[in-house]
Amino acid sequence: MAEGSRIPGFYKLSLAARRQLVAERAGLALGDLEHALEAGGLDTATADKVVENVLGIYGLPFGVALNVRVNGVDRLVPMVVEEPSVIAAASNAARMVRHSGGFRAEVVESLMIGQVQITDVEHPSAAVARLEAAAPRLLELATRAVPNLVARGGGPRAIDVRDLGQRCIVLHVLVDCRDAMGANLVNSIAEALGPLTAEIAGGTLGLRILSNLCDRRRVHVTCRVHARELVSTPRASRARGAEERNLDIDSLEVVDAIVLASRFAELDPYRATTHNKGIMNGIDAVVLATGNDFRAVEAGAHAYAARSGRYSPLAVWRRDGEDLVGELELPLALGIVGGTLRVHPTARLALQILALESADELAMIAASVGLASNLSALRALATEGIQRGHMSLHARSVASAAGALGDEVELVAARIAGIGSITVEDARRALGEVRAGDA
C-alpha cells in the first residue's frame, strides 16, 4: 500500500475525496473504483444469472476499515454492512492495536473436509479398518477427480474414518483447496469417492458433501493494546503532561473491566453468543465485501464455539502487566478465486484494495477485523456503554429517514443525539428547526 492504512479525519472527507484517496493508496484507477461501486456494482442482467426469480438489486453500504496492520503489513479493508458503527468501531480499535505493532495472525491449517456417509454397516469397526487400509487407493481416486486443483499445488491430503454408532460411519477426506473456498471442489471429491467407499465398507452410500465446520482450516490472531490507548483519543495522546498519572489509573481500570467482560462470556453462553456476534460483525462484513459465503463462515464459527459441548467465546482477553492481550481462533474458509468473484465487479475491487496474494491472507485479515470489532464492543461496554457511540452514528440514518439532505444530515443527527432521543419524529422536528434557522 502506497502510504499505509492510517488516514486521520477520513470520515470528514466528502465521498468523492474518500474514493480518490483510497484509489491512490490502493494503486487503482479512480474510474475503475467508481464504476465498480456504482449501484452496488451489479446490473440486473448479471444478477438474473446469479440467483433465481430476480426482480432487481438490493444494495448495502460498501465502506473501508482504516488503521489495520496485520503481520506488519498495512491494509485498507473493505467492509459491507448495514449496521451503523461497525466500520468506525473496527477502525478505532485497529488504531489502538496499531500502537503495539498491530495484529499477529497465522493460518493454523488450511484443509477443507469432505464427508462420505455410509449407513447399514454390519460390522462398523471392521469397515473402519478396511477403509483406513484403503486410504492410498481412495486418495488416488480423489486426486483424479480434481486435476486442475492438483495442477495448482492443491488436492486431497488425508483420509480419516469415524464410527458414528447406529451402524453409521463417515469418511472424511481432507483437501487443500489453495486460494478457493473449495465447496465445489470438495463436493466433487466426495461424490467421486462415494461408490468405492460404500463398496469397501459394505454398507449403503449416504450423503457426500463438504462440512462447514472446517476446523482443519483455522485462523489464530493475537493483539496487544497498551492501557493508555483504551482511554485516549489521538488528540489526548499527544497532550498528556500533568494528567498522565490519572489517565494511566483510569486506563488500567478499563483493562480490568474488559477482562471481566471476557470472563463473563466464558462463564455464560447467553453472554458468549452476543460476544461472538460482535466478532462476526467485523468478519462477516469483510466476507461479504470480498464475495465470500458469510452463512458458511457463521455456521462454522458457531459450531466451533460449541465444540466442547458448551457454547463459548471465540475470543478471550487477559491482562499482561499494564497491557490488554486478546486472542481469537476460529475456522475460516475464504477464497479469492471462483464463486461470486467471477461475476461481481465490486467483490473483485475489494480484493484489489486489499492487495492480496493468497486466500490465507484474506482469512487472517478478516479474523483481525473480527478481533478489533470485539475489542471495540467490550471497551464500549466497559466504559460509556454500548449505546452512546452506536446511537450517535445511528442518528445519521434516522436523520436521513426524516428527510434531511446533504449537510442537514449531520446537523439534525447532532441535535437528536444531543437530546438523547433518536426517533424519526424528533429528527423531523430538528430538521424543521434547522431549516427555519437557515431561512
Query: Which residues, listed in sequence order, are joined to residue 119 by a DSSP beta bridge?
Result: 204
Active-site residue identified among 390, 394, 408, 426: 390
Burial (CB count within 10 angstroms: exposed 0-12, middle 13-18, buried 19+), residue 397 = middle
Task: Report whether 379 contacts 228 (CB < 8 A).
Answer: no
Cell of 53: 426469480
Reply yes or no on whether 394 is catalytic: no
- C-alpha grid cell, residue 171: 469418511
Active site residue 433: no
Residue 319: phi, psi to the nearest 5?
Answer: -95, 135
Pick the catalytic residue from 32, 34, 83, 109: 83
Report the interhelical angle of 244-267 vs 359-382 (nearest 10°): 110
- Closest to 88 (Cα-Cα) out of 11, 7, 8: 11
Q: Could you confirm whether 35 is annotated as catalytic?
A: no
Question: What is each CA distance from 432 to 200, 394, 424, 429, 438, in whole angstroms?
Answer: 77, 20, 12, 5, 10
- Dist CA 185 CA 175 (whole Å): 9
* Sign of the torsion formed by the C-alpha atoms of 391, 397, 402 and 405: positive
Candidate list 277, 298, 302, 327, residue with the active-site label: 277
CA-atom Rg of the chain in angstroms: 25
3-class state of residue 60 by DSSP: coil
CB 40 within 8 A of CB 346: yes
Spot the catalytic one: 293, 360, 361, 408: 293
**Is 390 an annotated catalytic residue?**
yes
Per the CB < 8 A criterion, the answer to whether 127 and 168 are in contact is: no
* Other Cβ atoms within 10 Å of 148 Cβ, number: 9
- Active-site residues, by number, are 83, 277, 293, 390
